[in-house]
A and B are shown apart, each in its own frame.
Chain A
Amino acid sequence: MLHHLINRLLLLIPMLLGITLISFSVIHLAPGSPTDLQTMMNPKVSLEAQKRLRELYGLDKPLHVQYLNWLTRVVRLDLGRSFAPDGRPVWDKIKERLPVTISINLLAMLLILAVAIPIGVIAATHPHSWFDRGTTLFVFLGFAMPGFWLALLVMMFFGVYLDWLPLSGLTSLFFERLSFWEKVQDLARHLVLPVLVSAFGGLAGMSRYMRGNMLEVIRQDYVTTARAKGLPERTVIFKHAMRNALLPVVTILGLSVPGLIGGSVIFESIFAIPGMGQLFYSAVMSRDYPLVMGALVIGAVLTLIGNLLADISYALVDPRLRVG
């Protein structure tokens, strides 16, 4: 177990190097030098910003020197200063947005697990029933539904037509004046739609996956054995079968992290939620290169952490790995 963990942690180093290397090459994708060609023709980038960009990346130096310089700064979380008029450090800007995005994604994950696992289990234990057919249809819809369209539809229905839920933002204008419980309520009302929408895509995939796992596990010998010794069906399904079918779900959850983080760009800009996705989107729109690069690196690092956590929890729940 410990050996496994140390191995995983050591593997992080080359991965982090690779992530920074790819991110670094992205900024050099632009034809010619990123400062000269792109910015001179781009009226959005001022002369002063060009100078800052050149300083940040040391663009007059050879490529490997540029990369090493940039890397040593990234390691110290010095991602440069934003091009925005406030000129604040990129890390500060990202830091204040991260909790919002992480909480929404965690809530979405919880929702995915809470809904997809029962769906998968029921569909697998009642194959070809109306429930199974219904959820299969739902899964196909879920795979084909553009998340941003679903966002528009629920906004239109719950926000405009029924007028039950707020359309955008994280809090109401009068938030500061509310009591604690009213604040919680206000926040929750704002979060319902974004969390629902970001969970939707994963919901389809996860319930499909859970169904497949369950079908597989139910055919195993130990399940037959459990039934043969006369255990009640409930115990067989929930204790013997489901626990084993749940194992790979942890891995899938880890793999869904990049999708969720990427999706936050769309949902946060639709629902005007001040998270990292929205920050990234506005950085792209205003060609705020340091912020774009910073968000790219942080996004990849978050994914890496998500995968690592999934790995660790897998090791924790799987006795074969825990003991071995």
Chain B
Amino acid sequence: MAGTFLKREFWPRFRRNRLAVSGLVLVAGLFLVSLLAPVLAPYDPNYIDIQAILMPPSSAHLMGTDSLGRDVFSRIIYGARISLKVGFVAVGLATLIGVLIGAVAGYYGGWVDNLLMRLVDLMLCFPTFFLILAVIAILEPSIWNIMVIIGLTGWMGVARLVRAEFLTLKEREFVQAARALGASDRRIIFRHLLPNALAPVMVSATLGVAGAILTESALSFLGLGVQPPTPSWGNILTAGKDNIEIAWWLSVFPGLAILVTVMGYNLLGEGIREAIDPRLKE
């Protein structure tokens, strides 16, 4: 059934939406760039050339070089890998936690629901960036820690979403039928309810990737994310700030890469949302 929905309804609607398709193209492009980074990058991203320090963009260095003479274009290409990884791992974790908590809260209701939703309210009280920074202050900043922390602080939206879906779904006949047939709670949750609630989760996950990439780049920019020499768009921008009066290219290109990528995920997410349920379109 899901297959025919995708082919008959989802895809034709998605394809007609020009913005959604451009989002898909941008995201697919990011995948390709990270996959083909060694082929696409003209230089080793960590190759230091002290004879080419802070060179403006030229035919040899398309996006110029940084204060160690490293090729910015190559570093941005390799930086795409970090963004891709952060997006997937952080949002994967957040979605997993959010789905579990939302499903349990929505399905069981009562005090369980009350307790879990108060936890959501509490977590939303913290300025997320403060919470992330506090944890990083205690653990060491590393790409893995960052992905996990972004995931652990980003599940509340999904939990609310899944809970709301479950609250309406669990009253439907097919759930009652499953229960009458003696299906266990676990089976009802995972086999009957969850598949029907997946669409909005997918939308929020896609939009969540955009948010995770923004957070990672901000952390790396502050020096608390991906540590040099590993290139990430955020930590190239740190160099941009340090050389703001002399090297515009260090600030402009990595930021553009973030902007385009985040926009791609946002457009894709909105596109999926509208293709799943055309009524949502304003």
Contacts and interface: CB of A to CB of B under 8 A. Distances in A.
Interface of A: 14-15, 18-19, 22-23, 26-27, 29-30, 34, 38, 140-141, 143-149, 152-153, 155-156, 159-160, 167, 212, 215, 257-259, 261-263, 265-266, 269-270, 280-281, 283-285, 287, 289, 292-293, 295-296, 299-300, 303-304, 307
B139 A29 contact: yes
B262 A144 contact: yes
A152 B121 CA distance: 34
B244 A296 contact: no
Nearest to B265: A144
A46 B135 CA distance: 20
A261 to B, nearest CB: 4
Interface stretch (B6-14, B162-170, B174-182, B218-226): B218-226
Interface of B: 118-119, 121-131, 133-139, 210, 214, 217-218, 221-224, 237, 240-241, 244-245, 248, 251-252, 254-255, 258-260, 262-263, 266-267, 282
B141 to A, nearest CB: 9
A29 B135 contact: yes
Nearest to B141: A284
Given A18-B122, A146-B214, A289-B137, A261 B244 contact: no
A34 B240 CA distance: 35
B266 A143 contact: yes
A265 B134 CA distance: 12
Contact of B244 (A30, A140, A156, A304): A156
Contacts, number: 145
Contacts of A265: 129-130, 133, 222
A30 B126 contact: no
Given A29-B138, A156-B244, A261-B130, 20 more contacts: A18-B122, A18-B125, A27-B138, A30-B138, A144-B260, A146-B221, A146-B258, A148-B237, A156-B248, A160-B245, A167-B244, A258-B125, A261-B127, A266-B218, A280-B133, A284-B137, A285-B223, A285-B224, A296-B126, A300-B130
Contacts of B137: 283-284, 287, 289, 292
Contacts of B263: 140-141, 143-144
Contact of B126 (A19, A149, A212, A289): A19
A86 B18 CA distance: 59
B241 A22 contact: no
Closest 7 pairs (CB-CB, A-B): A262-B129, A149-B255, A262-B127, A144-B263, A144-B262, A18-B122, A258-B127
A270 B241 contact: yes
A149 B258 contact: yes
Given A152-B251, A160-B244, A262 B221 contact: no
A265 B86 CA distance: 21
Contacts of A38: 138
5 contacts: A26-B134, A29-B139, A148-B217, A284-B133, A284-B134
B246 to A, nearest CB: 9
Contacts of B260: 144
Contact of A292 (B123, B134, B223, B237): B134
Nearest to B254: A149
Contacts of B123: 22
Taking chain A's interface residues, is the majority helix, strand, or loop, or is none over half, making it mixed? Answer: helix
B130 A149 contact: no
B129 A303 contact: no
A259 B233 CA distance: 22
A41 B266 CA distance: 42
A26 B135 contact: yes
Contacts of A152: 237, 240-241, 244, 251, 255
Contacts of A287: 137
Nearest to B258: A146
A18 B266 contact: no
A100 to B, nearest CB: 16
Nearest to B221: A148
Nearest to A17: B122
Contacts of A215: 282
A100 B216 CA distance: 26
A162 to B, nearest CB: 13
Given A19-B125, A281-B222, A149 B136 contact: no
A263 B126 CA distance: 12
A87 B141 CA distance: 26
A280 B130 contact: yes
From A152, A270, A303, name the one whose CB has the most chain B CB atoms within 10 angstroms: A152
A140 B222 contact: no
A19 to B, nearest CB: 6
B135 A258 contact: no
Nearest to A270: B241
B237 A304 contact: no
From A34, A257, A265, A295, name the one whose CB has the most chain B CB atoms within 10 angstroms: A265
A282 to B, nearest CB: 11
